Structure 1
Amino acid sequence: MIIIIVIFQIKVQAQNRKNLISTIPELTKIIHFDKDNYGGDSQFWTMTRDSTGIYYFGNNDGAIAYDGQKWQDILLPNSSAVRSLLYASNGIVYAGGYNDFGIVEKNSFGTYEFRSILMDLKITTEKIENVWQIHEVNGIIIFRTFEGLITIENNSSSYIPSESRFIHSDVLEGTYYVQDENLGVMSFDPVLKSFNSIFNSKDIGNEVIISFLPSDKANSIEIITKKGNIYLGNLISGVLTKKHEVFSEDQNEFLSVAVKKGDTYILGTIGSKILTFSNGRNTSLKGSVYDQIQDNTVLNFYKDGDELWVLLNDGIDLIKYNASFSNLFSEGSVYDILIKDESIYIATNNGVYFSKIPKEGSVFNFVKTKIPQGQAWSLSSIGVSILVSHDLGIYEISDEDVTQIGNEKGFWKVIPISNKNNEYLACSYNGFYLLKKEGIRFNIITKIKGFQESTRDVLPSDEENTFWVCHGFKGVFKVKFSKDYRRVVAIDHFTDQNGFKSPFNINVHNWNSDIIFSTNTGFYTFNKENNKFLPYSKLNNIIGNSINTRKIITHQDTTWVVLNDEIGLFKQSDELPNIDKNTFRNLKGDLNRGFEKILPITNKKVLIGAKSGLYVYNLKESLDKPSFSTIITKVTKQESTKNITSQVVIAEQNELEISNSTEVLRFEFAAPEKTPKSNINFSYKLKDLDNDWSTWSRNSFKEYTHLPAGSYEFLVRSLDEKGVISNEASFSFIIQPLWYKTNLAKITCVSLMILAIWLGIRLVNNKRIEERKKSKALLERSKKVLNLEIERLKLKQDKNQLEEDVIFKSKELTNYTVQLINKKRAFVEIQNDLKELKNLVKNAESKKKIIEIFKKLHQHKVGEEYMKVYDVNFEKIHQDFFKKLKYIHPKITIRELRLCAFIKMNLTNKEIAPLLNISVRGVETARYRVRKKLQINQESSLNNFLTNL
């Protein structure tokens, strides 16, 4: 029964695939680059590519270099636009701007820059203006301006002026062709510096030429004009014949650039994007791949193998012909694919879509069917109808009409029943339903009793009326139906017994006519004799038993598998089959888990449904395995000493030495030979440090920190979207050891050790001599110490004596002061008594005698001479006391200084008054003035201040 069902399904699918093989177009993919990518001006004029795959673009800001990972701006000294670029056979990239042209090259820091060569060639900027095109003929570089041609050969230049204006130029088969506005088309010999007229301007109606193209006819070229006329020119006879007219008379359009792809002209226009012209007619833009161009104005083309770069007035587009894969639909997750009647249907999480399979040069145009919005799980082709298993039920699509079958909801798929014409099993969320086609209508006959589990993963058994049902969490059921399929008559349930190690994640498949079960621990097949599942060595030996395989599909000699979250394939005919998982690496993690859809069309073309949409893969190039290269674009180091990042030049250096102070070593790399945005992955390792290659990653850099001293070789490789691994790039370097680990340091250490031993011996010998000297010196030192101690005691005694003298003199000064006070008081009393006696005496002689006594007393009173003696003695005892007071207030008076001295001696106001010849009240006033002059606040004591001073 199973064989009949499988054969039936294979016949239907084979017929549908056959139709698709003959009609599915060549894969053409368009990649857009906008300002978010390149970051500069959006108007692009020219581009070129060097031998390593680095792209160079010219725009209004200057030039841009692109290695497939990073864009870098290149400015001209005069900040002009770059309108022409050429990668010459000598490995130099030439660039032309306004009144300047030169070379684009990498500097010592790994950065691209422009270097003008006008001064080197002694060329003045007169009449240069814009350099519109650069060509090479036999090693001679030719720069075209409107005013003339500039040729460069062996570091010498020549200037050839135009008759009127040089409008356009091209090189075909080693011959340089140029259009002069007045003279027409000429060939130019850069060696002889001579022109040869080929076609008159009148022959082309004085039209502006936008392209010279090769012709399939001998000794002929094709000329494309701005107005859209295509001419065939015979180079021998000079006859120019109009071959085609791209535009009709009522079309107001102009061409800007043209290339040929086979017999088809690809034409860039000023306002209508890209047109194609073949077989004498203009192909409509609508519905073609060229309709996806992001801007209407095309300024230039750059043809690079099977790729066409389109330089636009606003951005850059890349057209990849014969691409390895293309996204045909991206408006939902695709769960199933069906090809029928030259149309393709897809079941998505948002209903069902279909598209007519387009012809060459056109694109798929998916339109939503009338199936209700929501989750559609699978599609089944039955006769002229298509049955859709949907979350809301089963729907029939017939002649664009949509009909719901029954009212039941939640169906996974519909499968035929062997030996039952027009009867089918409808697999639902909770068991089976019997579906039957009666006349032209489908009807759900009944819910089949006896089994209520989800029936998403179902496969007919080789036993009659029996099916295998796998449940993701409950294991495997073997379900046997009654002959009329109205009920289930037997169920065998297998979990972690009978050979399985776990009931989880078990799926059933048909491979090479064998029913096999994939699990987390490998593949199994059922043995009926002992009712047990046994390991299936054929696939275990190829895929292994540690990866869960959720899907197995065979087509001819190829087996497709879904391993965890990625797709792989292998050839069954290979002696040692090897699973290729790299081809579909861009879909890793993008598959609908449990609903992966793979529809092989041929061994070299396959349709795949994923979360991000529907993909078609062309495997031809991936099987051919063309090689390409990975390059290391920059190496930078960051030293910890100054925390400054300095760039290391990548040159022809075998082993670059890097200082041990390097904290971070960063490698940047790219695969510029591959198309930008082509999902390049990188893997790397550092020899002598990493044992294995790193896992594939989109990161285009790797950093190492604090590498130990030693010799290293950094290796990097890349993996393209076709599964091809590139050639390895390498960079060798040496991390210098720390100074104490260098050979010089080791030699120095050994030398120092020898020197230390020699010095040790010398020191031991010298030590004996020194010991004797030390003993003698110690004795002499003891004597000196004794003498010093005696001297110290003597000085201490003198100090004590001095202190006693100070105390004694202080006492003497105090006694002197007291005597002065007493003397002053006695004189005052005597004077007062004499004044009273004078008033009492009446005799003149007596009064005269009293006056004489009064005069004698006055001559011997305590006067200034006594106070000066006091001042001198006070200063001797209290050194610099008066100087300090004068320093605090330079204008302090002598009387105030004496007042301070008396206060320091703790004399009372009453005792001070007679010494200063003032009253006690006057002493208080004098004290206030002194306090103010010395800036002593009211809270502080004047006595304490003067005592401490």
Structure 2
Amino acid sequence: MGSLKSIFYLFITFCHLEGRIKEDSLKFTFKCILAFLVFLQHLSPVQGQVKGIGLPSITNYTKTEYQSGTQNWDIDQDTNGNVYFANNNGLLQFDGSTWRTYKIPNSNNVRSVKFDPSSGRIYVGAYNEFGYFESSEDGGLSYVSLIPKILESKYRSTDFIWNIHLFQDEVIFQSFGTVYVLKNEKITPMPAEGRFQFSYKAEDKLYFQEVTKGILEYKDGRMFALPGTNSLNSYEIWGIFSLEDDTLLIATLEAGLFIHDGQHVYPWNTEANQFIKNNSSLGGVKINEDLFVLNSVLGGIVICNSKGGVVQQIDLKKGLKNNTVLSSFLDNSNNLWLGLDNGISYLNINSPFTYFSSSLNLSSVYATVVHNENLYVATNQGVFYHKLNGTFKDDSFRLVEGTATQSWNIQVIAGELICANNKGALVINGNKVSRVLGHTGYFGFKEIPGLPGYILGSNYGGFSLFKMGPRGIEFQNRMDGFYNSSKDFEMDADYVWLLRDQFLYQLELADDLQTLSIKKRHTSLNGDGTGINTLKKIDNTLYFVSENHFYSYSKELDAFREDLVLSGLFKGLPTINSVAKDTHGNLWYTYDQSNEIGVLMKLEGPGYTNVLEPFSNLTGNLVFNYLSVNTIDPNNIFIGLINGLAHYDSQFSKENIARPKAFIRSFSYGDQTIVQGNPQHKEMEYGLPYANNNVSFTFSSPDFESGKNIQYSYQLEPFDKQWSIWSKQALKEYTNLREGTYTMRVKEKNSYGVESEPASLTFTVSPPWYRHPFAYIGYFIMGCLIIYLIRLQVQAKIRKNKYYETIEQRKLYLEKESKIRIEQYRLEKKIQKLNKEKLKTKILAKDKELVNNSLQVVKKNKTLSNIVQKLKEMDIESMNEETKSQLTTLKKNIQKEIGGNSWKDLEKHIKNVHFEFLKRLKEKYPHISPRELDLSTYLLMNMSTKEIAQVMNISNGGVELARYRLRKKLGLSRKENLSGFLMNI
């Protein structure tokens, strides 16, 4: 129960709660000692690591979660910690994180399961089928039937296999009609004379119920009847347990419990027997030499001791998913699994924590206190109480009459039990409210230092004053001057301190105790603007806490001074929200936004040890800003939760708490998944092609007690340089790994802070073909070949360059020669062009000269024509013949001179002279006619209308008409000069 020091502390604490110790009152002292002994008797954990106070943590799994059948008939566990259930839909496996169902051929309704640690096989029995599962190459479980090993065909129809036993070097399968013995891979059937009901292994002995012979013991391949057990033939036996002195405890379905002393059978008239008679038995499991679990049809389970006393009774009302318990099993962590008629339940019975929750009428707990042998609990639904000398296993907490509303606090002040309630300040006496001190809602009460008998209460509208009087605590007056409410207030010898909305109010109490006035409002304690987290009185000194720094107030200096000793204790811890010191010197604190709890446990010598891990299961369940810890003694600590009360035994033995195991449960790459953690699985090295260099791992741990608080840390060597931070994430992926050999390592930490040994998996990623060693050899050969070829190419290039150099020189010579020839040709062409232009110039000059001459000829002809005309006008009649003849000859000669091609030649020479002009005019005005081109040329030569008429052989009016048409084609107006326009073309 703890050291003498702990007992003394508990005695002093309990007596102080009852009243002040009076040295002259032996009666009162004796009463305290007696109450303490009774309290000690009922709060101490029972033998065998099963606590008799409170209910264990219960985790229920529904068929929706495990995705299989409803009924679970049998349970077992392998050496890796995986739990197996004989489910009516197959073999159900749970590794702590993942559920898997394995089917068997022809019959999925599995009734029994047994793991054989020597072979790693998982034996199962179903309807007309039994066999075993073993690990396949990929680590999964594959089924092997044993029916083919039964040589006689009449025994191959087995009906249901209800039980499987590992007995000595045999595996025994029991059905109603036949027992099948597997030894050396051969099966020997043993038929029943009547009917085998069930079979059970107790210690190192194996028993069968034969409905015509009673209970038979199996030894050396034969059955031997136990004397006096025929009286049980009419009952169904569902459990046999060994007791001391070679006696057997026999559990029947409906008749109750019986004892067999070796010769006779008689009823076990105990509390446990009455429970079984009322609820019917479905077997059970032995926890240790003193404790048993008994399953029932109607009432869940009971845990009873070897004397028949019920330690705990747990049913549907107290947290189970179903009241019909088909099977029970104690795992390797000494915690309890229950196979239900509809679901599975896990009971953490091997834990320092038990709970009082809504099943026992408790809700959110704000405070607890022990008074007059009762445990009082302030909740959001009122104040509840329970007798300390009563049993907690069946009874619920009872409501204190008159408190059925929000109750913020429950305290013992000056020997009286007072409750801070939504209805007011309530004085409680026993199981009801005896007096109501005002009807304003209250948060709590403090005795005023230096003023004995005076009490200050914080209410919804400020503060009120109370005083001890003849009738006990009495209301005095409402305090004026300050009307803000707050639950967080404390008092020292000079001031009232109140924490509200991140402000610390320093209030002065008037001498007449009628008024509270604000002296100062503080926003920080050291001037750096850091907020104030909480305030608390520790060892009669008021401390103000900011970011884990503890300060006290000095009135003389009017300043806050840091307590370096206390601050040093909390250095390096998470930032705390609240802190409290219990009667044993332990410093409890809450931290983080999720309101987690920890404790600095006082050592027997100087110093403290920080304890965090055991309380991880309470994370998220604490009432925010209400630290409620009531330390009765190291074995009995009550912690308030949002759904009841936790009972913590700080000295609960950790010997039965096994070191956790971690598994790399699956390893996936490409479309392959390797399962690990199943029995028979062998460590292997896995080779991965480079195309599958994206890998993923899942982790598991059969640490069912820690549940959601399991944390993993992993390291992929040599990829990760160090272990990862602890995380609840059970999946890790890596992508684009380079070729090489990798080792994945993972470890687990449970809620007690215990780490597992690392689990490991080694695999090799093959390089891509272009980085394979053979590829590098090929690269080397190719490189040598390339160098050789380059050398040949260089040599050839040198020869080629020399050849091309010769060719280039020849080419340059030829090019120079060609350039000379081209230049010579160009010069010749230029000379020819010059000569041509010169000739053209000469011809043009000649043409111009000819034009001029032609014009002169035209003029001459004109003159001659005039002469001829004159001659024609002469009167030749008067002339003699000779004169006529001479005149006629003259006229002919003149006309001959006028004829000829003078005009045509003139026209030809004019076109030659004005060729460029005619070309430009034709390009600019393509629709102009040849006659108009001639007219344009004559106009350009500034010839008169008459001359043009003569040249063109038209009249003067025709020339004017031609000029008009030319203007129109050229787009000229009347005002524009035609000759000037033509000269500008």
TM-score (norm 1): 0.71
Are the structure 2 counterparts of residues 174 and 96 from structure 1 closer, same or farther at C-alpha, using a change threshold of 3 Å?
A: same
1:540 to 558, 567, 576: 567
2:502 to 459, 470, 473: 473
Quote the Cα distance in structure 2 between the aligned partners of 1:713 and 1:554.
48
Q: Give, in angstroms, the shift of residue 360 of structure 1.
A: 4.5
Alignment of 1:446-461 (within 5 A): 446-461=477-492
Deviations 1:587-642 (A, max 9, x none): 33443333222222322442222334432223334866944233325333343xxx
The 8 Å contact of residues 256 and 277 in structure 2, kept in 1 or not, is answered as: no
Are the structure 2 counterparts of residues 476 and 626 from structure 1 closer, same or farther at C-alpha, using a change threshold of 3 Å?
A: farther
Local SS of the residue matching 2:117: coil
Local SS of the residue matching 2:612: coil
Aligned equivalent of 2:614: 583
1:94 aligns with 2:113: no
Aligned equivalent of 2:223: 195
1:504 aligns with 2:531: yes
Are the structure 2 counterparts of residues 559 and 603 from structure 1 closer, same or farther at C-alpha, using a change threshold of 3 Å?
A: farther
Identity of aligned residues (%): 22
1:257 aligns with 2:288: no
Are the structure 2 counterparts of residues 492 and 376 from structure 1 closer, same or farther at C-alpha, using a change threshold of 3 Å?
A: same
Aligned equivalent of 1:805: none
> Could you tell which deviates more after superposition, 66-75 or 509-518?
509-518
> Could you tell which deviates more after superposition, 114-123 or 581-590?
114-123
Aligned equivalent of 1:828: none
Question: Which residue identity is paired with 1:221?
Answer: L
Quote the Cα distance in structure 2 between the aligned partners of 1:206 and 1:404.
62
Aligned equivalent of 2:42: 23
Local SS of the residue matching 1:579: strand
Aligned equivalent of 1:892: none
Quote the Cα distance in structure 2 between the aligned partners of 1:171 and 1:652.
31
Aligned equivalent of 1:795: none
Are the structure 2 counterparts of residues 71 and 282 from structure 1 closer, same or farther at C-alpha, using a change threshold of 3 Å?
A: same
Q: Give, in angstroms, the shift of residue 53 of structure 1.
A: 1.2
Quote the Cα distance in structure 1 between the aligned partners of 2:705 and 2:97.
10
Aligned equivalent of 2:255: 228
1:106 to 127, 135, 157: 135
The 8 Å contact of residues 475 and 493 in structure 1, kept in 2 or not, is answered as: yes
Question: Which residue identity is paired with 1:256?
Answer: L
Aligned equivalent of 1:217: 245
1:761 aligns with 2:787: no
Q: Which runs of 5+ in 1 are unaligned?
A: 1-6, 779-949
Question: Which residue identity is paired with 2:236?
Answer: V
The 8 Å contact of residues 34 and 315 in structure 1, kept in 2 or not, is answered as: yes
Quote the Cα distance in structure 2 between the aligned partners of 1:395 and 1:242.
52
Aligned equivalent of 2:97: 69
Q: Give, in angstroms, the shift of residue 151 of structure 1.
A: 1.6
Aligned equivalent of 1:607: 638
Alignment of 1:91-490 (within 5 A): 91-119=120-148, 124=153, 126-190=156-220, 193-199=221-227, 202-204=230-232, 206-218=234-246, 220-235=247-262, 238-244=263-269, 254-259=280-285, 266-274=293-301, 292-304=319-331, 306-330=334-358, 332-357=363-388, 359-360=390-391, 362-363=393-394, 365-369=396-400, 375-382=406-413, 385-391=416-422, 393-402=424-433, 405=436, 409-429=440-460, 431-440=462-471, 442-461=473-492, 464-475=493-504, 477=506, 479-488=507-516
Local SS of the residue matching 1:584: helix
Q: Give, in angstroms, the shift of residue 266 of structure 1.
A: 4.4
Question: Which residue identity is paired with 1:397?
Answer: I
1:725 aligns with 2:755: yes
1:674 aligns with 2:693: no
Quote the Cα distance in structure 2 between the aligned partners of 1:243 and 1:9.
39
Deviations 1:314-368 (A, max 9, x none): 2233344353323312464322223333433333344444444584561462444
Aligned equivalent of 2:871: none
The 8 Å contact of residues 489 and 499 in structure 2, kept in 1 or not, is answered as: yes
Aligned equivalent of 1:567: 597
Deviations 1:414-455 (A, max 9, x none): 111245444210123554321124333644322334445545
Are the structure 2 counterparts of residues 8 and 263 from structure 1 closer, same or farther at C-alpha, using a change threshold of 3 Å?
A: closer
Local SS of the residue matching 2:613: coil
Quote the Cα distance in structure 2 between the aligned partners of 1:156 and 1:746.
57
Alignment of 1:883-922 (within 5 A): none
Aligned equivalent of 2:666: 635
Q: Give, in angstroms, the shift of residue 87 of structure 1.
A: 1.5
Question: Which residue identity is paired with 1:132?
Answer: W
Quote the Cα distance in structure 2 between the aligned partners of 1:202 and 1:589.
56
Quote the Cα distance in structure 1 between the aligned partners of 2:720 and 2:510.
63
Are the structure 2 counterparts of residues 250 and 60 from structure 1 closer, same or farther at C-alpha, using a change threshold of 3 Å?
A: closer
Quote the Cα distance in structure 2 between the aligned partners of 1:646 and 1:286.
44
Q: Give, in angstroms, the shift of residue 275 of structure 1.
A: 5.5
1:53 aligns with 2:43: no
The 8 Å contact of residues 623 and 641 in structure 2, kept in 1 or not, is answered as: yes
TM-score (norm 2): 0.69
2:735 to 701, 705, 729: 705
Local SS of the residue matching 2:790: helix
Local SS of the residue matching 1:217: helix
CA RMSD between the two structures: 4.0
Quote the Cα distance in structure 2 between the aligned partners of 1:89 and 1:339.
50
Question: Which residue identity is paired with 1:214?
Answer: S
Are the structure 2 counterparts of residues 516 and 545 from structure 1 closer, same or farther at C-alpha, using a change threshold of 3 Å?
A: farther
1:525 aligns with 2:555: no
Are the structure 2 counterparts of residues 492 and 662 from structure 1 closer, same or farther at C-alpha, using a change threshold of 3 Å?
A: same
Aligned equivalent of 1:32: 60
Quote the Cα distance in structure 2 between the aligned partners of 1:471 and 1:277.
51
Deviations 1:135-160 (A, max 9, x none): 11222111112222222222223222
Q: Give, in angstroms, the shift of residue 732 of structure 1.
A: 3.2
Q: Give, in angstroms, the shift of residue 400 of structure 1.
A: 3.8
Quote the Cα distance in structure 1 between the aligned partners of 2:64 and 2:137.
28
Deviations 1:877-905 (A, max 9, x none): xxxxxxxxxxxxxxxxxxxxxxxxxxxxx
Aligned equivalent of 2:16: 11
How many pairs align? Answer: 760
Are the structure 2 counterparts of residues 725 and 21 from structure 1 closer, same or farther at C-alpha, using a change threshold of 3 Å?
A: farther
Q: Give, in angstroms, the shift of residue 582 of structure 1.
A: 1.7
Are the structure 2 counterparts of residues 64 and 646 from structure 1 closer, same or farther at C-alpha, using a change threshold of 3 Å?
A: closer
The 8 Å contact of residues 242 and 249 in structure 2, kept in 1 or not, is answered as: yes
Alignment of 1:800-815 (within 5 A): none
Q: Which runs of 5+ in 2 are unaligned?
A: 1-11, 20-31, 44-51, 809-985
The 8 Å contact of residues 28 and 320 in structure 1, kept in 2 or not, is answered as: no
Quote the Cα distance in structure 2 between the aligned partners of 1:359 and 1:208.
36
Q: Give, in angstroms, the shift of residue 279 of structure 1.
A: 8.9
Q: Give, in angstroms, the shift of residue 100 of structure 1.
A: 1.8
Question: Which protein has the larger Cα radius of gyration, Structure 1 or Structure 2?
Answer: 2
Alignment of 1:654-803 (within 5 A): 655-662=685-692, 664-675=694-705, 677=707, 679-690=709-720, 693-768=723-798
Quote the Cα distance in structure 1 between the aligned partners of 2:132 and 2:632.
50
Q: Give, in angstroms, the shift of residue 95 of structure 1.
A: 0.8
